[in-house]
Structure 1
Amino acid sequence: MAGTAGPVMSRDEVDRVLTRRGEERDAVEAALLSLQDHPGRRLLDGAALTGRTQERWAVAEQGLALLWALFDRYAEALASARAVRARRGKPGSAELAELSELLTGAAVTVSGGHLPEAVGQLGAQVRLVERVTLTELMDRMNGWYAVVLEVVNAADAVWTALPARIDLLLAELGRVQMLALSVGVRPGGHPLGDDLTRLAEELTALRTEVLADPLALWRPARVPAQRGTASEASAWASPSGAVDTTGFDRAGRHLDDIRVELEGLLRLRDESHERLQQVADLLQRADATLAEARRARGEVLAKIASTEVPAVPGPASALRERIVLAVEYQQTGQWHRLGQLLDALEDAAAKELTRARHSLTEVAQPLAVRAELRGRLEAYKAMAARFGLAEDPVVVERFEKARWLLWSAPCDLRAAAEAVTRFQQALRAPERQATSGGNDSDG
């Protein structure tokens, strides 16, 4: 028997250590049983693994077997110590020395092939036999437990978080693909169709990766535990980290964007007839306005003297050709082609109506000026009647001259405007007095 590692413990100290070691043994056993039944471990056992997960599970799986072997040696050593303590109610110095050695000394013999150095690798060159203390053995178990638990928990976290969500997204992708077909969007014929094909490939590849290599999508909050090393405080706690859902989230956002665009095409399909009719109505109003402008231009040329009248533009024939194309897209269900074209047609038709109205305003301006002068003349005539000047010779003469100029053809707008102004002036009292006193007559 090797010598004791330190001073001989008293009977009370021995009993306290035995109690603590017994509690540790029970806690380790419960943790190992829980780990053995962990859903992540069961899934890892039956999965066809690749990549990082395959590498780390190969180590963790051996570590799990090693944990049970180390636990058995711990339990055997504790049982041996309890047997020594049970020999006598009040152990003597010999028993206390033996118990001190068993509980604190390097009294546990383990196979070196099953207990590599803390920073070593499974399969590395090791000693055939080692003697360690119970504390050292517990540290080794803590370290290997952390290694195994981290792999098992990480794989379980990824498998819990992603496969079902990917399946739901793939199902939603199928519905969006059906929506795409309903509005004529197909791979090779529209960018959205190609996007849906690539998205399906990405999600399928992501699902395959999740099932075969879940640890590729695990982001630990700390560096993974070294094989066989961990602090006692954290050894039996679940390792922290997060599932990397970047690829899944990106695919979800992309699918949402595609669905929004397709729903826009679906609305276009439902609204296209009404919108094309509105474009046709705008062009019809533009044509009617241009026809009115041409009629007004002819009237101006015939009835207004010395006036430059702008030409009236013709109908937008190119715009009508594009409408024919839009109708063709509508009839053949090419909604993805119709969308931008219909937007452009609505804008162009509105501009065409604005252009026609502007042309009518420009062409009819002389007629508007004549109408305004006629209105002013009639208003001044009514004012003359209120002033009692309806029979005044000057007022009558100036009214008749302005009236003759405004209702003759072709009408000289400048002369007519001057005549209306002179008729207005005739209504003012000072001018009437001056005119009456001088017996002036305006010819």
Structure 2
Amino acid sequence: MSREGAEHALRARAAERDRISGDLLDLESHTTYQLLKGASLRDATRLRWEEAQAALARLWSLYDAYRGVLRDAEQVRAERSRLGGEQLEALTALLSGRSVLLKAPAKPVEQRSLLPPVEERLTLDETVLRMDAAFQLATDALTEIDSVWSALLPRVDSAAAALAGARELGSRLGEPVDLTRQDADLTRLRAAVLADPLGSGHVKQELDTLVRHLENVRADLEQALTVKDEYGARRENLKAALDLVRAAESEARLAHGAVVVKIALPPQAQPRSGVPELEAALAALDASAGSWLERARRLTVLERQAEEAEAKAGAAARALRGLLNRRDELRGLLGACQAKAARTGMVEDPAAMRLYERARLLLWSSPCDLTRAAAAVDEYKRAINGGGR
């Protein structure tokens, strides 16, 4: 190695040493590394971290030996301002030769041999390659564990916030909610994430289920608080809604009364009132000594039932009046068919005349059997069309 080459190699190695030192310090100051140092790990994570720690121990041993060679080289270079032959030879051996001595690691007695321990000599380049392999093994483990913690710990915190929020709402409501099981589940899941993140694949689904449950509890409690604050107003609104149901049912009964004398109706077409049942449910709700959670659920159900009862009564009235429209439609169709029969010379046909009369009697009788009348009109229509439709 030339003097210039030795000078350059020494400077490059010094810069390399400083860079490696910085990387090692960054690793040890990493938040996840600090957490793992003091964590009580178990199972897959414990085994993975033990492998990483063993790799780090090898790395530091290599680094100490590597740094010792560079320290020796720097001392050789500092002996004289200009390198002499002996100095250049020593520097060349240190910087290019197998100058890094790796002592055999101490072993427990059960793993020892009576043969002398084997020491190994490496070049600086070989030492750096080994340090890099150990560094990668350690950082891969760190990255994998950190990615799981980064994904799951915010979910744990979210579940904890939801749990605290549900408790606070229950306190405001004056009806504390029993969340003992959810609290125990959260404690268990947090411990699993912290102790064995690499073996906590099931935790994500459990956390999601727990958060959804707590969000539902929170929604119920918020609704209960709203009902508690607005119960008087909502009760009055419900009473007004029952008046609307009564009006709609009255309209349905009037429609039934007007239609039943003109159209034959089955017994089940008679409108039935749902108001008495809704009034009884409202009275029971007023007298209830249950929780506001339960009262909120029942009030919401009653409000929906009142809305559905009004819609049902309105639909029944429209359907009943539609029967009169259907009868009139059939009457118009029968008249149109008779006019066509006159144009085609079928009006005097005995068979057609019988079919017409039968349809007419059905349509102008009270109450009218719409099913039979429709069939009779259709039969007459086919007859004047020559049997086709």
TM range (shorter): 0.5 to 0.7
String of CA shifts for 1:269-297, please: whole Å, max 9, x gaps: 74751453134203432465477679x87
The verdict on how the C-alpha distance between 1:288 and 1:63 changes in structure 2, with shifts beyond 3 A counting, is closer
Structure 1 position 95, deviation (Å): 3.9
8 Å CA contact 1:287–1:315 kept in 2: the answer is yes
String of CA shifts for 1:190-220, please: whole Å, max 9, x gaps: xxxxxx77765554333222222244469xx
For 1:315 and 1:183, the matched residues in 2 are separated by 44
Question: For 2:240, which of 263, 278, 299 is the aligned residue?
Answer: 278
Aligned residue identity for 1:213: D
Q: Which residue of 1 aligns with 2:189?
A: 206
Q: Which residue of 2 aligns with 1:76?
A: 68
Structure 1 position 155, deviation (Å): 4.5
Aligned residues: 309
The verdict on how the C-alpha distance between 1:168 and 1:100 changes in structure 2, with shifts beyond 3 A counting, is same
Q: Which runs of 5+ in 1 are unaligned?
A: 1-8, 116-122, 188-195, 219-243, 302-306, 364-412, 414-443
The verdict on how the C-alpha distance between 1:88 and 1:258 changes in structure 2, with shifts beyond 3 A counting, is same
The verdict on how the C-alpha distance between 1:350 and 1:183 changes in structure 2, with shifts beyond 3 A counting, is farther
String of CA shifts for 1:165-214, please: whole Å, max 9, x gaps: 63343222332356579599977xxxxxxxx7776555433322222224
For 1:38 and 1:274, the matched residues in 2 are separated by 62
2:15 counterpart of 1:32: no
Structure 1 position 105, deviation (Å): 1.5
2:96 counterpart of 1:104: yes
8 Å CA contact 1:184–1:336 kept in 2: the answer is no
Identity value in percent: 32
TM-score (ref. length: structure 2): 0.61
Structure 1 position 250, deviation (Å): 6.4
Structure with bigger helix share is 2
Q: How does 1:107-146 map to 2 (within 5 A)?
A: 107-113=99-105, 128-146=118-136
Question: For 1:148, which of 130, 135, 138 is the aligned residue?
Answer: 138
TM-score (ref. length: structure 1): 0.55
Q: Secondary structure at the match of 1:49?
A: coil
Q: Which residue of 2 aligns with 1:65?
A: 57
Q: Which residue of 1 aligns with 2:347?
A: none
Q: Which residue of 1 aligns with 2:354?
A: none
8 Å CA contact 1:111–1:130 kept in 2: the answer is yes
Aligned residue identity for 1:75: R
String of CA shifts for 1:68-93, please: whole Å, max 9, x gaps: 32222112111222333344444454
For 2:216 and 2:126, the matched residues in 1 are separated by 58
Aligned residue identity for 1:285: A
For 2:199 and 2:322, the matched residues in 1 are separated by 72
Structure 1 position 21, deviation (Å): 1.0
The verdict on how the C-alpha distance between 1:98 and 1:280 changes in structure 2, with shifts beyond 3 A counting, is same
User: Which has the higher mean CA deviation after the structures are superposed, 197-206 or 207-216?
Assistant: 197-206
8 Å CA contact 1:289–1:360 kept in 2: the answer is no
Q: Secondary structure at the match of 2:105?
A: helix
Q: Secondary structure at the match of 1:131?
A: strand
Q: Which residue of 2 aligns with 1:241?
A: none
Q: How does 1:366-385 map to 2 (within 5 A)?
A: none
Q: Secondary structure at the match of 1:112?
A: coil
8 Å CA contact 2:249–2:310 kept in 1: the answer is no
Q: CA RMSD in A?
A: 4.6
The verdict on how the C-alpha distance between 1:353 and 1:19 changes in structure 2, with shifts beyond 3 A counting, is closer
8 Å CA contact 1:112–1:127 kept in 2: the answer is yes
Aligned residue identity for 1:54: R
Structure 1 position 28, deviation (Å): 2.0
